[in-house]
Amino acid sequence: MSVNRFRTYIILCLSAVLMSSCGAKQSQAARHEIARPPFSADSAYAHIATQLSFGPRVPGTDAHADGVDFIAEKLNAYGASVEIEEGYMEDYAGEKQKVRNIIARFGDIEAKHRILLCTHYDSRPWSDQDDEAYRYVGVPAANDGASGVGVLLEIARQLQHKPSAKNIDMVFFDCEDMGTPDFIDNNDRPDTWCLGSQLWAQKPERKGVYSWGILLDMVGAPGATFYKEYYSVRQASNYVDLVWNNAASLGYDDIFKSQEGTAIVDDHLYVHRGLGIPCVDIIHTLPQGGFPEWWHTQEDNLMQIDRNTLQAVGEVLMSLL
């Protein structure tokens, strides 16, 4: 006991010397003034508002085509090398579904050591968590579609100003949200979701190219909470820790919660299953599990977007690039 107390005294003296030698840098006030990674939530918000102005970006509609054009044009303007990957997948009803993934490359486009940043841009065709009257009405998808796109487009703009030393690919997946409607069959078949990432992950030439990836899904709501998603922890635990530690060091541990969350079928699952890429899903879930009440309803509109959440997610990603 006394030895411990003596040790504590020595440590306190040493830390007092260190603190005074480092001056004001050690003060709590100074910690709050650490250089923030560059990211404009206003710009991300504007990209979300533009997508919503097209209407729900339901595959096969004009609004969806407008969404593709908008994303591709922005990425081109920000200096990325852009490709639209087209293919067909079977949907929940066994019908052929056209899929259009948007791929943007930054840095040395031939380099084989790349980081994957991804999100989905499509809107769910059915508001099947809303009143019955809205069953066949597309979701505005401010959070569940447009938010991830808004954040990635703003990161693309930042990369044009200040290129990263890392080679980065962004993939905007289509048809993520076409999983079997609840009112048809609620014995949810997982593989009816995430058709775009399933198509993307079928290409063997992509194997071994990506060291790891981050998926964004529903990253704009006020008071959002991001738990360490179950599959992400199983397939990419080091990277989950890296992302959450960076968030904590930026002061965002109130949004990026250090607890493990529920298991979510999302694009990161197929990216890992098909190509072995460890991928971290940053997705808004509730403390008790499940999604917020606006999920897959008409309420997933611009009212559910908060610049503070976009800023947190944007800064965390930029700190990793």
- Least distance to Zn ion from the beta carbon of 269, Å? 14
Q: Return the structure tokens found at 174.
A: 């289509």
Beta carbon nearer to Zn ion, 82 or 279: 279
Beta carbon nearer to Zn ion, 177 or 315: 177
CA atoms within 13 A on the CB side of 124: 30
- Binding pattern for the stretch 89-128 against Zn ion, x by CB under 5 A and - elsewhere: ----------------------------------------
Closest-CA residue to 250 (of 311, 307, 306, 164): 311
Residue 315: C-alpha distances to residues 33, 154, 163, 212, 282 (Å): 14, 11, 16, 18, 13
CA dist., res. 181 & res. 92, Å (int): 8
Name the segment binding Zn ion (CB under 5 A); options: 37-45, 136-144, 221-229, 310-318.
Answer: 136-144
Query: Which residues neighbour 83 within 8 Å (Cβ) at sequence distance 6 or greater?
Result: 102, 103, 104, 105
Instruction: Give the interface size with Zn ion as a residue count (CB under 5 A).
Output: 2
Strand order in the sheet with 114-120: 81-90, 96-106, 167-173, 114-120, 210-217, 279-283
CA dist., res. 318 & res. 315, Å (int): 5
Beta carbon nearer to Zn ion, 52 or 82: 52
- Least distance to Zn ion from the beta carbon of 144, Å? 4
Name the segment binding Zn ion (CB under 5 A); options: 51-59, 142-150, 158-166, 190-198.
Answer: 142-150
- Least distance to Zn ion from the beta carbon of 92, Å? 14
The answer to whether 266 contacts Zn ion (rule: CB under 5 A) is no
The answer to whether 144 contacts Zn ion (rule: CB under 5 A) is yes
- Least distance to Zn ion from the beta carbon of 166, Å? 29
CB 172 within 8 A of CB 118: yes
Cα distance between the two ends of the chain: 47
Beta carbon nearer to Zn ion, 120 or 206: 120
Query: Which residues neighbour 76 within 8 Å (Cβ) at sequence distance 6 or greater?
Result: 82
Beta carbon nearer to Zn ion, 70 or 173: 173
- Least distance to Zn ion from the beta carbon of 285, Å? 12
The answer to whether 177 contacts Zn ion (rule: CB under 5 A) is yes
State CA 84 to chain mean position distance: 20
CA dist., res. 214 & res. 117, Å (int): 5
- Least distance to Zn ion from the beta carbon of 39, Å? 24
Instruction: Identify the residue whose tokens are 């299953």.
Output: 273
Beta carbon nearer to Zn ion, 177 or 299: 177
- Least distance to Zn ion from the beta carbon of 100, Å? 18
Q: Is 182 helix (H, G, I), strand (E, B) or coil?
A: coil
- Least distance to Zn ion from the beta carbon of 291, Å? 8
Phi, psi of 280 (to 5 degrees): -100, 125
Name the segment binding Zn ion (CB under 5 A); options: 38-46, 140-148, 202-210, 249-257.
Answer: 140-148
Beta carbon nearer to Zn ion, 216 or 318: 216
Name the segment binding Zn ion (CB under 5 A); options: 173-181, 205-213, 247-255, 272-280.
Answer: 173-181
- Least distance to Zn ion from the beta carbon of 143, Å? 9
Beta carbon nearer to Zn ion, 18 or 303: 303
Q: Which residues bind Zn ion (CB under 5 A)?
A: 144, 177
